[in-house]
């Protein structure tokens, strides 16, 4: 019996704006339009999609059902340990670390970060580095920081727009990103220091309305939704296969505003879940895909206008989402029969835009969000006993926020922070 491994979903979310930037952000979740530079001659939305728009790469597996392993469904029920921390959480101090600096406010406002931590505790941070203040030729960059070590950096390629990091094996993260210059979806897989193998996945042409990457025990999963279609495409990569290829999974039709950062999740029983809207302006909910039956077999939606911004599958199987309803932060947990079996409303916490939720190995839930009243970055925390607390982690604006669970089994937050129009990429953690 393989031990359960916590699924860490660590991708950048929309910027948690530190100001009331309603004129600079689109308030619709997961409907993102990238601000491309003047030198990028792009025609992502030129005309209808034709058959020629689909690029098939030879080393991508066929679009046929794949014979997967027998599902490893664990029989034991995970129980959160009732072990006190050596040092109480409340005694820690939030300590920021500057990773890179000298960015313009415009760059920080429109960029994002993506943070993951591998099994050795090494932290991997994705962002766009710039050769000058104008960021005339931004590079998709991945920073690496081992436990107790310093940051080193590796460039992937020139890039603009959305991307996401994920990792299964130590020292081998992947970066998934739509390439606006080649108009394809790419995956860069690290094979060693400054060695990245890059593959292209066959997706429909046009801009993107949804995009995400996640993992389970041994597989990476990627979703991609074209702006010109409500159909979401999916791919999987089995790292345990000696001749691993990216293989196409069945697509999901009629999925509007599909997962766009922390909205695609995989459990350890070979189920895949996607956050999306039932209709173009309908309620948010989940669709479930079973690898065993090779089909999208189930959908469930909220009964209200909750705007979901983060999704996590807990170690005990619960499906939890953090949402915004009016001026309130709402955290729900449940299953496909009832998405809101439990519901926590932070009625005293006015939320600006988006929140980011994840779970520690001891069952602790963390939710990072931006408080509107004081323009600060806050963290809500629920212990495995069910007790909620909230605290201010950063007394300033934060843009392009991403979260991960670090080697101390606590939340780490990456973001852009600005002072006097000069911005830096930082990582925020608790020290004791």
pTM beyond 0.85: no
State how far the Cα of 41 lies from the Cα of 43, in Å rounded to an integer: 7
pLDDT at residue 156 is higher than 70: yes
Per-residue pLDDT, 182:
81
- DSSP class of residue 147 equals T
The correct answer on CATH 3.40.350.10 for the domain covering 51-304+350-431 is no
Instruction: Catalogue the E-assigned strands of 253-306.
Output: 264-266, 271-277, 284-290, 295-301
Bigger pLDDT: 262 or 321? 321
Ranking 49-58, 213-222, 236-245, 283-292 by mean pLDDT, the lowest is 49-58
Ranking 24-33, 41-50, 243-252 by mean pLDDT, the lowest is 41-50
- Which residues, 6+ apart, have CB-to-CB distance to 101 below 8 Å? 422, 423, 424, 425
Tell me: the pLDDT tens digits for 383-428?
888 899 989 999 988 888 999 999 999 999 999 999 888 999 999 9
Tell me: the pLDDT tens digits for 221-241?
999 988 878 889 999 999 999
- What's the whole-number mean pLDDT along residues 206-219? 87
- Which residues, 6+ apart, have CB-to-CB distance to 310 below 8 Å? 13, 262, 263, 321, 322, 354, 355, 356, 357, 358, 367
Tell me: the pLDDT tens digits for 283-318?
999 999 998 999 999 999 999 888 898 999 999 999
The whole-angstrom distance between residue 377's C-alpha and the CA centroid of its chain comes to 18
Per-residue pLDDT, 155:
98
pLDDT at residue 51 is higher than 50: no
């Amino acid at each position: 019996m393989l031990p359960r491994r916590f699924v860490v979903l660590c991708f950048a979310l929309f910027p948690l704006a530190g100001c009331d930037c309603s004129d600079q952000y689109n308030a619709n979740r997961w409907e993102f339009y990238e601000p491309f530079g003047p030198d990028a001659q792009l025609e992502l939305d030129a005309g209808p999609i034709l058959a020629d728009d689909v690029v098939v790469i030879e080393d991508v597996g066929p679009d046929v059902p794949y014979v997967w392993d027998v599902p490893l469904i664990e029989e034991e029920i995970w129980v959160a340990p009732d072990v006190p921390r050596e040092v109480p959480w409340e005694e820690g101090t939030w300590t920021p670390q500057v990773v890179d600096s000298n960015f313009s406010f415009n760059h920080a406002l429109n960029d994002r970060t993506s943070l993951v931590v591998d099994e050795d505790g090494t932290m991997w941070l994705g962002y766009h580095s710039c050769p000058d203040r104008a960021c005339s030729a931004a590079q998709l960059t991945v920073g690496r920081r081992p436990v107790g070590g310093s940051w080193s950096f590796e460039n992937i390629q020139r890039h603009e727009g959305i991307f996401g990091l994920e990792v299964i094996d130590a020292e081998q993260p992947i970066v998934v990103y739509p390439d606006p210059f080649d108009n394809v979806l790419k995956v860069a897989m690290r094979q060693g220091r400054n060695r990245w193998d890059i593959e292209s996945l066959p997706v429909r042409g046009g801009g993107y309305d949804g995009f995400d990457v996640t993992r389970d025990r041994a597989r990476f999963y990627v979703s991609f939704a074209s702006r010109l279609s409500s159909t979401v495409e999916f791919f999987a990569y089995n790292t345990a296969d000696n001749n691993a290829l990216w293989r196409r999974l069945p697509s999901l039709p009629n999925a509007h505003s599909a997962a766009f950062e922390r909205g695609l999740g995989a459990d350890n029983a070979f189920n895949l879940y996607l956050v999306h809207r039932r209709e173009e302006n309908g309620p948010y909910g989940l669709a479930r895909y079973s690898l065993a039956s090779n089909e999208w077999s189930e959908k469930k939606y909220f009964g209200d206008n909750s705007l979901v911004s983060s999704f996590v599958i807990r170690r005990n199987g619960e499906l939890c989402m953090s949402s915004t309803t009016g001026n309130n932060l709402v955290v729900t947990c449940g299953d496909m029969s009832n998405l809101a079996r439990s519901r926590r409303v932070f009625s005293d916490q006015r939320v600006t835009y988006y929140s980011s939720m994840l779970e520690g190995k001891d069952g602790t839930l963390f939710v990072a969000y931006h408080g509107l009243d004081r323009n600060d970055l806050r963290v809500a925390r629920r212990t495995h006993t069910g007790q909620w607390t909230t605290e201010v982690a950063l007394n300033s604006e934060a843009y392009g926020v991403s979260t991960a669970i670090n080697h101390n089994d606590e939340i780490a937050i990456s973001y852009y922070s600005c002072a006097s129009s000069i911005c830096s990429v930082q990582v925020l953690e608790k020290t004791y």
